[in-house]
Amino acid sequence: MFSDTQINHFRNLKTPFYFYDMGLLDKTLEEVKKHGLSKGYHVHFAVKANFNYKILEKMLDAGLGIDCVSGGEIERAVEAGFQPNQIAFAGVGKSDEEIQIGLNHGIFSFNCESLQELEVLNELASQTGKVANVAVRLNPNVSANTHKYITTGLHENKFGIHPGRFSELFNLLPKLDSIQLTGIHFHIGSQVVDLQSYRQLCEKVNEFQNIFEENGFQLRHINLGGGLGINYNSPDEESIPDFETFFGVFEENLEVRPGQEIHFELGRSIVGQCGSVISKVLYIKEGVSTHFAVIDAGMTELIRPALYQAQHKIDVLTSDKSPLVYDVVGPICESSDTFRRGISLPEVQRGDLVAIRSAGAYGEVMASVYNLRDRAKAYYSDELAEKVITN
């Protein structure tokens, strides 16, 4: 993935830092356009995956909308140039202030997750003389077959309205004069690699849409969320997810009404593989039964391994020696600050560079200054290419 020219540039940059392959991002977006947008689907990029301005510029240029889960993300999207009618706002715990931000901007849709949220939104919209467009998020009880921390579509999860509350929902909606129901919303989880989960979701969506129509509610749009996973083990072999098959599942199984819009909220699958954390080896430490490679990146730059035992591929960029087995660990004063245990890598020494792959999603956005560390900078392949031409 990395050229010799890029690696030579990396040697001159302060580590750790985020590196984005913008060419790969362009190719990924072309696949989204080819298999999604070309079929009339609306794709919103999930800002929670990556809020980097240069990344958002790519999404805007590609014709994607935005999926937000906070007022700050709405503001970031508007600052990046997205129109309010491209912005969907989800989240189980929207504050009054965040709702007001959405109302002030006149966003495309509030994806509401509880009956009380609908009442609060109606009250706030009424106070400002506005009518809010709403898609109610429903809990389909469909397993995403992923890590329990990123499953969102089961009855035990905090997200969405349970079907057992439908009768209350249908009685409540006509009483809310400052709300316009425009659609229904779903999201079953993240890092979904079993597409059978999406087939099951389609069955639930078809069932729920019939129930809404039987109760007098016609839906202008269906928002199916996102969650499509990426290949963390072999990022070079599968650098772009199979969007053709993903969108094809919905094309085959979803019962779409004439004129109805179909929306998706994709994040990780678009940006995950284009980003890496570049880090430097600080020390080699021999333990009782393992070698520790202590690097200068930590859970402050990529928290996924510490948060839910995620495994990212690690490439050594500056060594081709015979392999040794290492625990690759960071400098943070937490035992959980470990990227991989028992991994075979070319023998490394102090100063060698490594790349922690597939960090374009939930890397930079989840960074922290724990231990009062400096925030890592971001660099981009197209900018490094320009430096080569200039020099």
pLDDT higher for 89 or 151?
89
Query: Does one domain contain both 210 and 321?
Result: no
108 and 127 in a single domain? The answer is: yes
288: domain CATH number is 2.40.37.10
Owning domain of residue 330: 273-390
d(C-alpha 325, C-alpha 343), whole Å: 5
Nearest one of 63, 175, 69 to 118, comparing CA atoms = 175
Residue 12 lies in a domain: no
Q: How many C-beta atoms surround the C-beta of residue 124 within 10 A?
A: 18
pLDDT confidence of residue 159: 67
Q: What is the mean pLDDT of residues 9-36?
A: 98
Q: What is the mean pLDDT of the segment spanning 258-285? A: 98
How far apart, in whole angstroms, are the C-alpha atoms of residue 336 and residue 125?
A: 45
Q: Identify whether 9 is part of a domain.
A: no
Please indicate, yes or no, if residue 196 is contained in any of the structural domains: yes
Q: What is the pLDDT of residues 296-344, one digit of tens each?
A: 999 999 999 999 899 999 999 999 999 999 999 999 999 999 999 999 9
Same domain, 249 and 284: no
Per-residue pLDDT of 275-295, as tens digits, reads 999 999 999 998 788 899 999
Q: Kindly state whether residues 338 and 234 are assigned to the same domain.
A: no
CATH number at residue 251: 3.20.20.10
| Over residues 132-146, mean pLDDT | 77
pTM over 0.85: yes
Residue 381 burial by Cβ neighbours in a 10 Å radius (0-12, 13-18, 19+): buried
Q: What is the pLDDT of residues 59-101, one digit of tens each?
A: 999 999 999 999 999 999 999 999 999 999 999 999 999 999 9
Query: What's the CA angle centered on 202, arms 32 and 186, to 5 degrees?
Result: 75
Of 266, 294, 319, which residue sits at a domain end? Answer: 266
98 and 151 inside one domain: yes
Same domain flag for 112 and 250: yes
If pLDDT is split at 50, 70 and 90, which confidence band does 156 have?
Answer: low
| Final residue of a structural domain among 266, 294, 316 | 266
Query: Is 14 domain-assigned?
Result: no
Long-range contacts of 139-142 (CB under 8 A, 24+ apart): 139/163, 140/186, 140/188, 140/200, 140/201, 140/204, 140/205, 140/208, 141/204, 142/188, 142/197, 142/200, 142/201, 142/204
Is 337 a member of any domain?
yes
